[in-house]
Each structure stands twice: as C-alpha cells, then as structure tokens.
C-alpha cells in the first residue's frame, strides 16, 4: 500500500514539474512569436523578466528528469527505513517517508493555475477593474520647472506651417512621470501623439473623453491606469463604420493627436487637455501594457 | 460611483452582480498568473540553492561559520543576503534547508527576513527607483529598518514561539559524501520536492492576493494619502495585498507619489517580510503560533518604526511637495 502511494505521489511530482516546464516554455513561445490578434501568455509581466520563464522551463526539465530515475530506483528497492543513506535513491528515503496522499492535493493545487490559464486569454484588465483601480490623470501644476525622474525630450522646433510628426510629439511613455507629479506650464502647447483606450468618466463634457493606458512596473498585479483628457471638435463614435458590438464597448483603441492646453471640464475645473484632438480608431498594439522603465516601448 | 463609471465605460448599466462576471474572473486569473510568472522562477532558484546546500554543504561547516555570540550570529544571518542574495520567494526554501541543517532559528529567521532587502540587487533597484527623490536616504532607511526589524523579529519569535517553532525535522549527518554526479541528481531531486511543496502554497497566497487585487477599490487607499497614520496603514495593507517581488517593489513604491516617504518606507520594509503569498508559504515551515508571532511582531515593528521615524524627521511624513498641486486640483472637484 505504502509503495503504491509513494509511486503515485512520485509520478505526480514529475507530472507537476514537467507540466509547469511545458507551460512556461509554451508561454514564452507564444510571447516571443505571437500570432496576429493573439497576445502572448507572458504579456502580463514586464518584458525584462520574460526570459526567466524560459530559463525556469529548462531548469524544471532537469529537475523533473532527476526525479525520474530516483523514483525508478525507489520502486526497485522499496522504501527501507533505518538503512545507511549512501546511494542517491536511498538518500531520498528519509523524505519519501513523509510522502502521503495529502501531497496529491498540493500537486493538484499547484497545477490548477496552468489549467486555469488555458481558459483565459488577453493581457489587459476589464473596464470594471480599471474603474476599481481608478485612473491617474495628468494634472496641471502651478509650479514651473517640475522635475521629472525621466525628463521629457526638449520641445522640437518645427518649421512654421509644418505639422509635427509622431517622433517629435510626446508619447504616453514620455508623459508618464508627469501623469504622477503634475504637468508643468512648460508642457502647454506641446504636440502629443498618443495611442490608448477610449474611456469616459463623469467629468467628461460634450466631445470630451480620456485616453487611457495600463502601466505595469513588475506584473499585472501592480497595474495602474493613466489617462489624459482630450477634447475634439467632432464627437467620437467608436462604432461608426465598425461592427455593432463595438458600440457597447468602451476600451476602443484610438490614436489621438493634438496640442496640450488648459481647458475646463464639465464642472468648470481647469485641467490639462489634448485640444482639438484628431482621433482615429487603430488596432490594439501587440503589447497593450505600457512599461515606464522601458523607453523602447512606443507610445 | 464605480458602477456609474463602469456604466459609462461600457455604455450599459453595470450592477454589482454584473461586475462579478466572467470578465472579472478573467482579470483574476490574469493577475494570479502574472504573480506566479514573476515569483516561480525565484522559488525555483531558491529550491535549487536549497537542494545544493542539502547535498554539498555539511552541517558542521555552517556551525563553524557562525559566531558564538547570539547577537553577532543574528547579525551575520541578517547580513548574509549580501553574499547569498535572494528575494522573498526564493529565500523560504533556503531558510527551510538552513534550519534542517541545524542553523539556529534566530539566525535562519534573520536571514529570511532581511535577505530580500539587504542584498545588492535590491539596494541598487531602490536607488534607481528613487533616483529623483532622496535615493540615499530612502535606500539607507530601507536597509537600516529592514535589518533592525528582521533582527528584533527573529529574536522575539525565537523567544516566544515555544519548543517546537517549526515543522522541520533536523537532518542527521549522513555517512560519506556523494559523488558529483550522484550528488547533482540528488540535489535536483530535493529541489523538485521543495519547489512543489512551497509552490502549492505560493498558489494559495497568490490567489487570495489576486482576488483582493481585482476586487478592492484603490480609491479607498488613495483617499488617506494625506493622513500620515492612515497612509502608513494603507501602504502596509498594499504591501500585504500586492505581493510584489522585493527586486521590483521600489519602482511601485516610487509611483505612489501622493504618499509620504515614511509611509512608502513602511511598504518597502513590510513587503519583503510579509504578504499573502509569504504567509501561505510560511505554513510549510512554521507552526501557527510562530506565524502569528512573526506576523504580529513585524506589523507592529514596521508601523512603530515608521511612525517614530516620521516624528523624529517630520519632513519624511509630508507628502511630496510636487503633489500639492495635484491635491489642490483634487479638492476643487465638486
């Protein structure tokens, strides 16, 4: 009976370890080589840490492999109590004695997230979750020269009459620090070109909306939502020309271009706005999360 | 309010029941997986180190390395993270193995509590994260408070946890040394068992944390940012719920710009010592009584230390002056 339990528990251990190894390798693969329209499984953590999943998968294969012959030798000899611990298989007997059917529960529990992950896709958060987290919106600071940890690029000097390109304009990543500390008056008049999700709140007046992005430092657990108000001369209707389903969904991906100005919201409070915003619907970027410490992330 | 915003976001009324739908379940599973993707590689690393220690590090060597003086031994345990850097997930299996090899509880505990803060990677990441806001002060205080709290907590736990504070059976010295090949296989085997045992409890802790993360409104936390005592309590609560890796938590602490430095220090010091996943993982090492003492002691000490610090150094308890404008704007809201 004991031997049967040991065998089941031992096989379970190997299965759990190799299961996680396969899952981590799969998650890395889907992220490194994403299919169009399907975000990678590791799209929920900072790209700087993604290689760890592949390294862990390789290490787990080694660990699982090491457990296999141990189990085999144990099956051959059977668990001996009180013997001299000299061989690799024998050395494990001390711990094997603690193997119990209860361990199978832990093994199942440990594998549960792998199974759970097969039922879920995507890498962002729902609108309800975004609302619960609250949106950090960029605010105006009365102090000139607010110091940012990562200063925004100097204002470009375009020839008169020419439009600023997206490279010269400020992106959401450029504005990240200012979203937290408040925009200094020097930012007023700067051209911005941002991609984000359309969002409405109670402060939005007619033709006003928020462009939002989910910012992640470490993983989705620390996600915060940043937003920039915008005002357009024309009402933006995400459903116009699109499938009917989109009409009921906010969170539509949009590109907004315009200049930063001080305008009033619905309640007459001054706020920083992208004024006279040119809005267009765009497909979701490959990586919908924004990583403020990675300046290579566009927008 | 939440329903109103959600309603405006989706263009339809959103009741509480409606928000508890599949989308929320999807959010929960994504947050859970993100915590696991972050933490599991470090648990595996800790398990591998633990396995290597089990096979290749004789107990006598450990005993010889430790000073005889109890205080110095605890201090050396607390500083051991400088030589053997580990984040809070990886340190649990290592500490478990240290106890099994006969390391005194106070030393192993001091290492477990301090190593996630007092290690070169975390020191560097804290300095980089706070580079625009007193980097030396914040990093120095984090290390200092971390060391002191780890040492006091380990002392208190050792003193009051009774005769059987943990569930680990001490390992009897084995005859002979294994060959390199045999030992490697054995070390990997130990690592595998540790990984599953600790990992299962990591999943439990991460699931609780993910549920709270998705359901709790952040506005509840942020509204107390201006009150020093409540801000500290809220930041400690955030540390418990967010389950962040100590190597990255400084960047998150930095982003809480509405909060004072002292309350953010509470977040930075408590997080590596105590959070939901760690409490679950501790159950594989300690008895209930020990965990209760450890939790109570670390919570009280972190709170007291940060309050004391803010009364001695009032500047640290003030919200950043850069956020005053933002606060005024917030107050102007109807």
In the 3-class helix/strand/coil scheme, how is A163-188 assigned residue by residue?
A: CCCCCCCECHHHHHHHHHHCECHHHC
Residues A66, A81 contacting (CB under 8 angstroms): no
HSE (CB half, 13 Å, CA atoms) of B175? Answer: 7
Of A70, A86, A118, the one marking the end of a domain is A118
Consecutive sets of 10 residues in chain B, 334 residues long: mean pLDDT of each? Answer: 38 43 83 90 89 82 83 92 84 88 90 92 84 84 95 94 79 67 85 86 87 82 82 91 82 79 93 91 90 95 94 80 44 40
Together in a domain, A146 and A262 = yes
**Both A35 and A88 in a single domain?**
yes
Residue A295 lies in a domain: no
Give the Cα separation of A135 and A285 in Å (integer).
20
Output the six-digit token pair for A157.
């000097």
At residue B266, the pLDDT reads 95
Interatomic CA distance for residues A20 and A35, integer angstroms: 22
A238 and A152, same structural domain?
yes
Residue A81 lies in a domain: yes
For residue B77, give Cα distances in angstroms to A3, B239, B270, B302.
40, 24, 18, 20
Co-location of A99 and A143 in the same domain: no
Q: Is residue A260 part of a domain?
A: yes
Domain that holds residue A91: 2-118
Q: Which H or E element spans position B256?
A: none
In chain B, residues with a C-beta closer than 8 Å to the C-beta of A45 are 34, 37-38
Is residue A223 situated within a structural domain? Answer: yes
Residues in chain A with CB shorter than 8 Å from the CB of B234 are none
**What is the pLDDT at residue A98?**
54
Shared domain check, A9 and A151:
no
Residue A70 within a domain: yes
Q: Which of A84, A132, A221 sits opposite B34 (nearest CB)?
A: A221
Looking at the structure, tell me whether residues A99 and A157 fall in a common domain.
no
Give yes or no: residues A111 and A146 share one domain: no
pLDDT for position B73: 92
DSSP code of residue B168: P
Residues A39-72: tens digit of each pLDDT: 788 888 888 889 999 999 999 999 998 887 555 5
Residues of A in contact with B200 (CB under 8 A): 106-107, 109-110
Does residue A239 share a domain with residue A142? yes
Q: What is the pTM of this model?
A: 0.77
Task: Please report whether residue A61 resides in a domain.
Answer: yes
Beta carbons of B178 and A120 less than 8 Å apart: no
Output the 3-class SS for chain A: CHHHHHHHHHHHHHHHHHHHHHHHHHHHHHHHCCECCECCCCCCECHHHCHHHHHHHHHHHHHHHHHHHHHHHHHHHCCCCCCCCCCHHHHCHHHHCCCCCHHHHHHHHHHHHHHHHHHCCCCCCCHHHHHHHCEEECCECCCCCCCCCCCCCCCCCCCCCCCCCCCCCECHHHHHHHHHHCECHHHCCCEEEEEEEEECCCCCCCCEEEEEEEECCCEHHHCEEEEEEEECCCCCCCCCCCCHHHHHCCCCEEEEEEEEEEEECCCCCEEEEEEEEEEEECCCCCCCEECCCCCCCCC
Joined together, the tokens standing for residue A263 give 């305008």
pLDDT tops 60 at residue A289:
yes
- The answer to whether residues A273 and A255 touch, using CB atoms and an 8 Å cutoff, is no
A137 and A214 housed in the same domain:
yes
Q: Is A138 on the interface with B (CB under 8 A)?
A: no
> In the predicted model, is pLDDT for residue A283 greater than 70?
yes
Q: Is residue A58 part of a domain?
A: yes
Contact A221 B210 (CB under 8 A): yes
Domains: count for chain A: 2
- Are A267 and B334 in contact (CB < 8 Å)? yes
Do A146 and A31 share a structural domain? no
ipTM of the complex: 0.78
The answer to whether residue A226 is domain-embedded is: yes
- Do A182 and A100 reside in the same domain of the chain? no
What's the whole-number average pLDDT of chain A? Answer: 73
Identify the domain boundary among A88, A118, A148. Answer: A118
Give the residue with greater pLDDT, A136 vs A93.
Answer: A136
Distance (Å) from the C-alpha of residue B69 to the closest C-alpha of chain A?
33
Does residue A297 register a pLDDT over 50? no
Find the mean pLDDT for residues A16-20. Answer: 94
> What is the spatial distance between Cα B201 and Cα B271, in angstroms, rounded to a whole number?
17
Same domain assignment for residues A146 and A230: yes
The stretch A230-245 carries a mean pLDDT of: 60
Q: Cα A147 to the chain's mean position, in Å?
A: 27
B135 touches chain A (CB under 8 A): no
Q: Which of A118, A140, A170 is the last residue of a domain?
A: A118
């Amino acid at each position: 009976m004991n031997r049967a339990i040991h065998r089941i528990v031992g096989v379970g251990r190997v299965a759990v370890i190799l299961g996680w190894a396969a899952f981590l390798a799969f998650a890395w693969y889907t992220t490194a080589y994403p299919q169009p329209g399907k975000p990678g499984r590791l799209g929920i953590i900072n790209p700087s840490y993604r290689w760890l999943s592949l390294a862990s998968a390789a290490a787990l294969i080694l660990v699982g492999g090491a457990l296999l012959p141990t189990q085999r030798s144990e099956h051959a000899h059977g668990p001996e109590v009180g013997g001299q611990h000299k061989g690799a298989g024998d050395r494990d007997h001390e711990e094997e004695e603690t193997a119990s059917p209860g361990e199978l529960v832990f093994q199942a529990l440990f594998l549960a997230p792998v199974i759970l992950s097969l039922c879920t896709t995507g890498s962002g958060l729902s609108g309800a979750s975004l609302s619960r987290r609250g949106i950090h919106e960029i605010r105006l600071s009365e102090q000139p020269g607010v110091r940012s940890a990562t200063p925004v690029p100097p204002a470009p000097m375009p020839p008169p009459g020419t439009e600023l390109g997206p490279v010269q304009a400020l992106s959401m990543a450029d504005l990240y620090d200012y979203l937290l500390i408040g925009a200094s008056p020097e930012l007023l008049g700067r051209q911005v070109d941002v991609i984000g999700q359309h969002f409405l709140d109670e402060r939005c007046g007619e033709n006003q909306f928020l462009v939002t992005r989910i910012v992640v430092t470490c993983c989705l657990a620390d996600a915060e939502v940043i937003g920039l108000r915008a005002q357009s001369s024309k009402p933006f209707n995400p459903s116009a020309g699109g499938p009917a389903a989109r009409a009921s969904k906010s969170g539509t991906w949009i590109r907004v271009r315009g200049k930063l100005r001080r305008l009033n919201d619905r309640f007459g409070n001054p706020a920083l706005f992208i004024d006279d915003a040119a809005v267009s619907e765009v497909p979701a970027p490959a990586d919908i999360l924004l990583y403020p410490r990675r300046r290579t992330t566009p927008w | 309010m939440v329903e109103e915003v959600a309603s405006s976001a989706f263009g339809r009324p959103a009741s509480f029941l409606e928000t508890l739908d599949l989308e929320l379940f999807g959010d929960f599973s994504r947050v859970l997986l993100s915590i696991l993707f972050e933490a599991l590689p470090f648990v595996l690393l800790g398990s591998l180190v633990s396995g290597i220690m089990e096979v290749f590090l004789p107990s006598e060597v450990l005993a010889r390395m430790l000073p005889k003086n109890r205080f110095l031994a605890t201090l050396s345990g607390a500083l051991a993270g400088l030589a053997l850097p580990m984040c809070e997930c990886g340190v649990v299996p290592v500490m478990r193995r240290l106890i099994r090899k006969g390391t005194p509880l106070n030393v192993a505990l001091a290492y477990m509590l301090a190593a996630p803060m007092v290690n070169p990677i975390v020191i560097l990441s804290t300095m980089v994260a706070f580079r625009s806001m007193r980097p030396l002060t914040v990093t120095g205080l984090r290390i200092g408070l971390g060391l002191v709290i780890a040492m006091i907590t380990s002392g208190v736990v050792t003193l009051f946890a009774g005769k059987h504070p943990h569930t680990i059976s001490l390992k009897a010295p084995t005859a002979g040394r294994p060959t390199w090949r045999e030992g490697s296989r054995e070390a990997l085997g130990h690592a595998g068992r540790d990984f599953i045992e600790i990992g299962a409890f990591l999943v439990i802790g991460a699931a609780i944390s993910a549920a709270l993360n998705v359901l709790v409104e952040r506005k509840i936390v942020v509204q107390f940012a201006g009150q020093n005592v409540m801000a500290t309590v809220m930041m400690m609560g955030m540390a418990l719920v967010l389950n962040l890796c100590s190597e990255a938590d400084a960047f998150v602490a930095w982003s809480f710009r509405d909060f004072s430095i002292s309350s953010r220090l509470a977040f930075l010091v408590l997080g590596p010592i105590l959070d939901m996943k760690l409490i679950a993982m501790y159950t594989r090492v300690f008895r209930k009584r020990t965990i209760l003492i450890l939790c109570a002691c670390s919570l009280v000490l972190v709170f007291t230390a940060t309050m004391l610090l803010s009364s001695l150094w009032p500047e640290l308890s003030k919200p950043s002056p850069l956020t005053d404008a933002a606060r005024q704007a917030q107050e102007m809201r109807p």
